[in-house]
Each structure stands twice: as C-alpha cells, then as structure tokens.
A = this chain, B = another copy of it.
Amino acid sequence: MRLTDLTQHAGQWLRGAGPDSEIVISSRVRLARNVAGEPFLTRCDDSQRRRIAERLHEAVEQAAIANEMLYVDVEAASDLDRQLLVERHLISRQHAQGSGARAVVVTGDETAAVMINEEDHLRVQVLRSGLQLADSYEQIDRVDDALAQRVHFAFSGRFGYLTACPTNVGTGIRVSVMLHLPALKMSGQIEKVFQAASDMRLAIRGLYGEGTEAMGDLFQISNQTTLGQSEREIISEFNDRIVPGIIEFEREARRSLLATHGDAMEDKAFRSLSLLRSARLMSSEETMGLLSQVRLGIHLGRVQDITLQTVNELLQLTQPAHLQQIHGRAMDAAERARVRAEFIRQRLN
C-alpha cells in the first residue's frame, strides 16, 4: 500500500454512514502513550529520538493491528505528502511541521492511525463515520492492548498514564466528534453551543484542529480533561449525553429555519449545488461553504440526486494536497482553483 493510493477515495470515516451521520461527520478517540524508561521527547536528543522511533515502528508492525498497514516516515516525507496526511486527519499539523525522527502507521481502512514521536512517543487514534464513539473506543482499546504487550508504557499508580503535557495525564484519552452545524451557525445559536462547551470544559474548534477557523460549518468538539474519570465514563458522557444534546439542538434549528425560511433554504441549497456544478474557478473555502449548504439541502430532502458520501468525499478530495497528488504535480493556488472546479464538476455532473 502506498500513500498515493489514499487519494483514490476519501477516508472511510467520511463515507457518510453511521448513526446520526447527517450531523455527525465523524467520531474520534485518541490515546497518548509513552515508553517507560525513556525521556519525554522534549528532553530527547536526536539519537534517543531515533531509537524510540525505530523501536516503536517495530512494535506497531509486530502488534499487527490490521491486515493491511501503511508506514510513512514523516521525517523523510515531502511537504506535499505530509499535507496530504493532515488533510486526511491521519497526522496532526504539529506532526507534519515538526522535526526529527517521526512516523505514522495507518491501517488500510484508515480507521486507525498511530503517530510515533508527535508530542508523546505514541499517539493512537481511531476515526469512524457518524456517532460511533463506543465502537471507536472498543477498537482503540484493542490496539492499545496489542501495543502494551510489546511496549512497557510509562504509568503511575497515582496519576495513570504519564504524558509530555500534564493535560493528557491520566487516561491519556481525548474524545472528539466533528459536527456539521449549519443551522446553528445560520441562526446565530452556535454561540450558545460555544458557551455550553466552555461551561462543560469542552474544546470547540474548526475543521483542522486548533487555531483554524470553522469552514463549511464544521465544528470539532473534544474533551479537555483526561484525569479523574475512567475512559468509559468519558466516552459514555460524550456519546450518550453531550453529543446527542447538540444534535437535537441543530435538528431543532433546522426545523425552525425550514418552517420560517423554507424558500430561502431551498434557494441556497440549489444555488450552491449549481455553482459547484458550473464554476470554472473555486477556492477551498468556497467549496466547503457550498458543500455545507448542499449537505443541509440533502438532509432537508431538497437535494435528492447527491449523496452525503459524495459531499463528504468532495470535502476531502478538493483540499490542496489531495488535488496535487491526484494530478501528480505541484500547483499554485490559481491553478488549483481551476483544477478543483473541474474535479468538482466531473464528480457532480
């Protein structure tokens, strides 16, 4: 399996299936682990860092977490390959932009990815379509067990798993969901979600993690505290209480907009779809905004000849690195705008 194989289709987590997938794009669980007896990465020199990377690469291969696995040496990878991995949510921006020996191992279906030498020695993530946090947790728990048989993790009886940053100490778990909240955004009620998230000590961000603007009305919500609760308690609170609350809030906002501004909503959905089908130049940002409207139009039953999966796929495949990988060459923003518009027209016509 090669990295460029990935660009043939979007990640499995974008297939638009799974519970509540009209609002929940994807569910993600991430664990932070460090090798016992080795210094945290901030205190490693180059050779220590390289030794850890090699040892963990071997351990992950041996753990055989999937039949098919893709190993990418992120240190040696080109900028474009790194960006592709970020666009697919398989590595973090930090991991892409970092330095020194580091890697990622991805399962063939991309549901699981193990970053080696990001902030911690190991960052394991499971990413699935729709609201599937419990299943995601079961999967990551199996990966964690398989790795723990080969690596002795730094663990304190008092604090739990030890991590480079204190905010991850304890379970080392971070749970997040990516939500499509166009109606809450449109009606201005998204501010209430931000307030509630803040009250519950949850983080809420745009599509590509910290420091990015929300594009396409996509919001990522994650827990902030990893200490004092068990993994299953954290998952259960998120999966059964927090996310369903936001889903219901968005559904109510959609119903209300439809009742009071049905014509305008329909107008917006059809205009957006027709622009996607006709434009000759299209930026990433505009693409996401228009796809968001089409996605909403599908849920409202107005747009019927496009599937959620197609919309989700376009969200990923029209990103800059994807376009360049698909076309096999580096392109500047102006050329990408032309190629992106062409790609979208082909997919939607």
Contacts and interface: CB of A to CB of B under 8 A. Distances in A.
A270 interface: yes
Contact of A278 (B273, B279, B281, B341): B273
A271 B278 contact: yes
A279 B270 contact: yes
A274 interface: yes
A338 interface: yes
Interface string A307-349: 0000000000000000000000000000000100100000000
Interface stretch (A57-65, A103-111, A235-243, A261-269): A261-269
A200 interface: no
Contact of A281 (B263, B279, B281): B263
A280 interface: yes
Contacts of A267: 279-281, 341
A299 interface: no
A275 B277 CA distance: 10
A271 B290 CA distance: 13
Contacts of A270: 278-280
A267 B276 CA distance: 11
Contacts of A266: 280
B275 A271 contact: yes
Contact of A338 (B263, B275, B277): B263
A280 B302 CA distance: 11
Contacts of A279: 267, 270-271, 274
15 contacts: A263-B281, A263-B338, A264-B281, A266-B280, A267-B279, A267-B281, A267-B341, A270-B278, A270-B279, A270-B280, A271-B275, A271-B279, A274-B275, A274-B277, A274-B278
Interface of A: 263-264, 266-267, 270-271, 273-275, 277-281, 338, 341
Given A263-B280, A271-B275, 19 more contacts: A263-B338, A264-B281, A266-B280, A267-B279, A267-B280, A267-B281, A267-B341, A270-B278, A270-B279, A270-B280, A271-B278, A271-B279, A273-B278, A274-B274, A274-B275, A274-B277, A274-B278, A274-B279, A275-B275
